[in-house]
Amino acid sequence: MLEIDADLLIIGAGPAGLTAAQYGARANLKVLVIEQLAPGGQALLIDVLENYPGNIERKDAAGNICAGPRTGFEIAQDMHSQAEAFGASFINETVSELIKEGELFTAVLAGGEKKKAAAVIMATGAVHRDLDIPGEQQFLGRGVSHCATCDGAFFCNKKIFVVGGGDAACDDAQYLSRLSSQVILIHRRDRFRAQKALAERVLHNQNIEVRFNTIMKEIKGEYKLSSVVLEHEGKEYEEAADAVFIFAGTVPQSSLVREGSAKAELDDSAYIITDQKMASSVPGLFAAGDVRSGTFRQVVVAAGEGAVAAHNAAEYIDRLRGAAYQ
């Protein structure tokens, strides 16, 4: 094989990428992870990762709680440290282009540097979808946010609107309800998409007012957000507000494989289609986590997919090595 910078290149260091890094390194591969932000991905924003296996309250011999469940930030830090301990390398950079030439992949970094690898795992995840309404971008950081654990403390005892009906919206509404008794969760449908247990807790939380069949049409204010325009059953009305937290779904970060020599098959929403081995339509290119089509978007699932992707990437690399010596 030609000279390469890594056997396995992992783009993205969320739970899928971090787990893939650990499993790849444990398989004695030279693993390089490229992450443009901080290792951990969206898991960093999760207040209490209550549905991660084994992440529970711990009690001492007398039955007293001595430690609560760890946060998403804490678990992500441990996953990062664990992957490094097994030998994976990390660089903080942005991949601007992914090229496949023959059997090898080349990741072109934003600064022009190139990294070559025998196999690639796309673990780039997804980003928050905007509502595309007037005032949304204008008041971003001045009352509009996508992260309750990041910005919720700025709005203690304030009137807070949460937009969405999935796990993220319900989870963050729960978090915000500990900071304010004026949390209003609006959803455009007549029922939540969130897991039943999480949805039930929201519906029975006295600090959260749920408004179904309601759409946010505009965010208004001067220097900072001061009101929102809502629509319910065809009627619009304006209401005072101090903050809006938006959870309207996600957009996959799959631009690197939408065209060019590493173009992969995508679904109608631009998520990467894979088989059960996490292999894409491009030989040597795998995908795991929120960027992959059809996945159940949970930290535990992303971690499992990362492990599967790394295992099968290692087998793919072994086959390449074998062919090189025949």
Which are the catalytic amino acids? 147, 150-151
Angle at 137 between CA 132 and CA 138, to 5 degrees: 130
Helix axes of 72-85 and 15-26: crossing angle, nearest 10 degrees: 20
Contacts 24+ apart (CB under 8 A), 82-85: 82/18, 82/22, 83/18, 83/19, 83/21, 83/22, 83/25, 83/31, 83/33
Contact between 101 and 261 under an 8 Å Cβ cutoff? The reply is yes
Contact between 208 and 148 under an 8 Å Cβ cutoff? The reply is no
The Cα 54–Cα 299 span in angstroms is: 13
Going by C-alpha positions, the residue among 41, 105, 21, 28 that lies closest to residue 280 is 105
The structure tokens listed for 259 are 């065209």
Contact between 116 and 215 under an 8 Å Cβ cutoff? The reply is no
DSSP reduced 3-state for 209: strand
The Cα 5–Cα 25 span in angstroms is: 14
Other Cβ atoms closer than 10 A to 306? 30
Helix axes of 15-26 and 299-324: crossing angle, nearest 10 degrees: 40
